[in-house]
Amino acid sequence: MQVDRLWRNARLATMAGSSGLGIVERGAVAAKDGRIAFAGAEADISNPDASETIDCEGRWITPGLIDCHTHLVFAGDRSDEFERRLAGESYADIARAGGGIAATVRATREASEDMLLRAALPRLDALIAEGVTTIEVKSGYGLETEAELRQLRAARRLGEERPVAVTPTYLGAHAVPPGGDRTLYVRSIIEEALPRIAAESLAAAVDAFHETIAFTAAETTAVFDAARRHGLAVKLHADQLADNGGASLAARFSALSADHLEYTSEEGAAAMGRAGTVAVILPGAFYVLKETRKPPVEAFRRHGVPMAVATDLNPGTSPIASLRLCAHMACTFFGLTVPEALLGMTRHAARALGGLDRIGTLEPGKACDLAIWDVEHLAEIVAWIGPAPLHARVWRGM
């Protein structure tokens, strides 16, 4: 087998198969043209002819990490809201007073595409330093067509500036624009923004915030119907502040994922299981907002709902640029096991982006995105808070 690069003398957590971490002792990974040519027991690779061979000295190799829910591209700062919440104001109180999403909208509308890009790069670099090789980036801080398109274009350019795969998501239905008419705004999403986004291939999916302080089921349904007409997948911010049937709504559209889910009912979890919709767990927002209601992890397990973990990186409710920290919190606050957390940052996160055929596991044909860890036990990846115990990060075989 002629390959570009061979990583040998490693322990693999392939994340492949129907369950478990796919552990391979004394394993090896080979790359050819940026894709995995072999992943398995080193003894099983026949006559490897590699241009370069790397001795991993017994280190662990996992797929590159995937952050499948971020709001990475934005302008402005909302640190004052931290103090306001400490003083007793709720997320909803701050939003009604013109803060929250509206504050970021004002700053983002004033920023150029280049300014948005420059502001986002340090946040992206923090995630890359932890072994992240794929990131989803949502719009949603423009709340008018041109500003939303600027966000999406800036998100796309992140993948030109750094060795990382970027999956852009259009979240025009994030909030009603300050002082705007909600009916006219929803119409602009459907009739103006979505056709342009589809024509320019600016997003892979369409998201919406279905919540008491955001969009109704009817409005979300209209947006999702339009997204489908343009061949775009859908995702949903669901059941974060109340049980509004968001999980069931996401399932009805066979959404890639439903995210947050603190108030999801048993029926909603069952619907997600039947639809194959991934539950994206976002403990960062739970922590920052001092919430007490936890997502129904046991119900997700009962109904076979895959659980991903993501940062929800945003300027107000989850100002966290550490996927490993969020995995740690998912275990500590919500009771995920270490294997569930690791799968949640790889295999299931890939599925939440509709990309499991390309990324998320160590299998031949998939992108050779690797994280090589200086750890004795895989639990160290999740257990430690602070600098990542990362030995090397490989993107597209390099």
- Measured distance CA(15)–CA(130) in Å, rounded: 18
* pTM of the predicted model as reported, rounded to 2 decimal places: 0.97
pLDDT digits (tens, 9 = 90+) for 197-230: 999 999 999 999 999 889 999 999 999 999 999 9
Q: Judging by beta carbons within 10 Å of its beta carbon (0-12, 13-18, 19+), is residue 30 exposed, middle or buried?
A: buried
Question: Which pLDDT does position 98 carry in this prediction?
Answer: 80
Scanning the structure block, which residue is given the tokens 């971490």? 21
Once rounded to an integer, what is the mean pLDDT over residues 48-68?
Answer: 97
At the top level of CATH, which class does the domain 65-352 belong to?
A: alpha beta
Tell me how far apart the alpha carbons of residues 239 and 246 are, in angstroms, rounded to a whole number: 5
pLDDT at 195 over 80: yes
Q: How many CB atoms lie within 10 A of CB 179?
A: 7
User: Could you tell me the pLDDT band of residue 374, with boundaries at 50, 70 and 90?
Assistant: very high
How is residue 228 written in tokens? Answer: 């489908």
Residue intervals in the chain for CATH 2.30.40.10: 2-63+360-394
Per-residue pLDDT, 92: 78
Q: Mean pLDDT in the chain?
A: 96
3-state DSSP of 183-244:
HHHHHHHHHHHHHHHHHHCCCCEEEEEECCCCECHHHHHHHHHHHHHCCCEEEEEECCCCCC
pLDDT-derived band at 164, boundaries 50, 70, 90: very high
Give CATH for domain 2-63+360-394: 2.30.40.10
- Helix (H/G/I), strand (E/B), else coil: 394: strand
Please state whether beta strands 2-13 and 23-32 pair in parallel, antiparallel, or not at all (unpaired).
antiparallel
CATH 3.20.20.140 in the chain, residues? 65-352
